Structures are given as structure tokens and as C-alpha cells.
């Protein structure tokens, strides 16, 4: 198994994405690429405990990501 296989298994499932700088996102993983760029639907942004819903598809840039978990 390679690390990106975990993203393949998480497709169309809800994930938590922790970013550099203390921001995080929760949403359904709709797409990814080898740079760990992600597309989330039904996403929520969490900054300092405050939750902001995001409508539509959100593209998260891979190089700001620290980890991705279910």
C-alpha cells in the first residue's frame, strides 16, 4: 500500500484535513492528485473553534496540508 491509496479509499467519504497555521476543513473528498491537492464538497472550515460552512466544491492546496484523516 502507498500513502495515496488511503486517499483512493477515502473518496466520497468524509475527511478531516488539518492545515499548516491551525486551520482545518471537514468535507467529503471528491478528488485528489499526486500533490495532495484535494477537492472537498459540503465542506466546513474550522479556525480557532469557529465553524464556517462552504457551499460548492472547495479546492484545498496540497502544500498547506499537515494531515488527512477520516
Q: Which is nearer to a second copy, 51 or 61 (CB)?
A: 61
Residues lying near a second copy in the complex (CB under 8 A) are found at 1-7, 9, 19-21, 23, 25, 30-33, 36-39, 43, 54-70
In our burial notation (b when 16+ CB lie closer than 10 A, e otherwise), range 39-52 reads bbbebebbeeeeee
- Smallest gap from Cβ 70 to a second copy, in A, equals 3
Amino acid at each position: 500500500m502507498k500513502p495515496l491509496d488511503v486517499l483512493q479509499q477515502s473518496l466520497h467519504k468524509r475527511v478531516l484535513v488539518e492545515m499548516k497555521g491551525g486551520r482545518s476543513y471537514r468535507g467529503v473528498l471528491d478528488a485528489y492528485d499526486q500533490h495532495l491537492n484535494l477537492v472537498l464538497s459540503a465542506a466546513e472550515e474550522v479556525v480557532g473553534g469557529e465553524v464556517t460552512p462552504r457551499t460548492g466544491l472547495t479546492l484545498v492546496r496540497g502544500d498547506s496540508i499537515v494531515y488527512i484523516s477520516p
